[in-house]
Amino acid sequence: MSQELISRSADLKRLRDEGLNLEVVDGYLLVRDVPYLDAGGNIKRGMLVTTLDVNAGVTTKPKKHVIFFSGDYPCNKKGKRIEGIKHTSEKKTLASGVEVDHSFSNKPPGGYGDYFEKITTYIKIISGPAKSHDSDITEKTFQVIEDQEDNSVFHYIDSNSSRAEIVSITDKQKGQKIAIVGLGGTGAYVLDLVSKTPVEEIHLLDGDTFLQHNAFRSPGAAIVDTLAKHENKAKYFGAIYSVMHKNVITHPVFVTEENVDLLLGMDFVFLCMDSNAHKAIIISRLVETGTPFIDVGIGIHEANGELLGIVRVTTVTNGYTSHISKRISFSDATNDEYSTNIQIAELNALNAALAVIKWKKISSFYQDLTREHNTTYTLNTGQLIHEDEA
């Protein structure tokens, strides 16, 4: 994908055609072999790194004028630092294998028109003293670069993480195999959020049919023709999110005692299913195998023409299981607190967001100081309560 993006973007292609050593890594443009002088007057080569703004597979006008640099601080012929572009100096990991030492700031009126202008401007400033010292020095090395096989789980670059400079944090989710059991409402929103992370695989398990009422409590907007097809939920959502994430794997089945082993080998499981006898079997197997999971629940009731109730997220990890019987119901009784069938899109979305945030805490994406294993949000009081702290 690196060379494909460069070939399709006129500004990057121009840089490559003129002989610059380019590579795109996790939404960053790397420009290697940039000559500069160090404090001792020695000619060295460093690397410029900039975030990439991309849309529809091609670059757009850069929103940020700041650029990163890997190497010593560039100096003039007198050995003095080029102070005019000084911004910050600290060693920082932007992405796997991409470490920088400094950032520079040079903002022209109106910003940079494209990445060709941005890169060549910074090279002119940084490399000028080295070229003055030796006229044969150039950044145009015409390095032969073989495009590596793209191992990204996405069909296009996650430019959001690179723009926010959190690629190294986002990478903590790489390699995980995630299962989502149940896609009726909350599970579909969990998928929407998880599909935007670099997990290795996302397994969808649901034997039910996507019907008209599901469309009103799920992300996106289903067309009438789709509803008329009565598609399986796993297949329906799998087709949608496979457009973004390469490894969405569908299992159009209900999870039962006979096939619960489909969940073996998962790194994390989201249980977004109604309370029933099969849930007890699933949870027992997950606990037995030490597989961490989150069980979600919504209990909404009507009273005096208004709705009230609770949204619940219960987390179970290998080291904390004693709260299961207290927090998770295995009953099909309609009067159970979490077994009513009233679901509203925003509550499904909230339930999913709380669940995914907790999973990201476990993955060390977000800081987790209390390590709570049960969270409830009460509608009529607005209380968000964290309990069962490990």
Give tens-digit pLDDT for 314-329: 999 998 999 999 999 8
- Residues whose CB is less than 8 angstroms from the CB of residue 165 and which lie 6 or more positions away in sequence, other chains included: 51, 94
Helices marked H in 250-299 — which ranges? 277-289
Identify the helix (H) or strand (E) that includes residue 388: strand 384-389
3-17, 33-47, 213-227, 271-285: range with highest mean pLDDT: 33-47
Query: What's the burial of 103, exposed, middle or buried (CB within 10 Å: 0-12/13-18/19+)?
Result: middle
* 174-389: CATH architecture: 3-Layer(aba) Sandwich (3.40)
pLDDT tens, residue by residue, 329-344? 887 645 444 455 688 9
Instruction: Report percent pLDDT > 90 for the chain.
Output: 82
Q: What is the pTM of this model?
A: 0.79
pLDDT tens, residue by residue, 3-54? 788 888 999 999 999 999 999 998 999 999 999 999 999 999 999 999 999 9
Q: What is the pLDDT at residue 128?
A: 97
> ∠ CA 233-236-239 to the nearest 5 degrees?
140
Mean local confidence (pLDDT), 121-147: 90
Identify the helix (H) or strand (E) that includes residue 140: none
What angle separates helix 345-362 from helix 186-194, to the nearest 10 degrees?
50
The C-alpha atoms of residue 71 and residue 101 are separated, in whole angstroms, by 6
Instruction: Report percent pLDDT > 70 for the chain.
Output: 95
The C-alpha atoms of residue 218 and residue 356 are separated, in whole angstroms, by 16
When mean pLDDT is compared across 155-159, 251-255, 329-333, 381-385, the lowest value belongs to 329-333
Domain boundaries defined on the chain: 2-155, 174-389
Mean local confidence (pLDDT), 138-153: 75
CA dist 143 → 28, 69, 131, 334 (Å): 19, 20, 19, 68
Residue 27's CB: how many other CB atoms inside 10 A?
24
When mean pLDDT is compared across 87-101, 329-343, 360-374, the lowest value belongs to 329-343
**Arithmetic mean of pLDDT over the chain:** 92
Identify the helix (H) or strand (E) that includes residue 224: helix 224-229
CA dist 381 → 340, 345, 384 (Å): 20, 20, 9
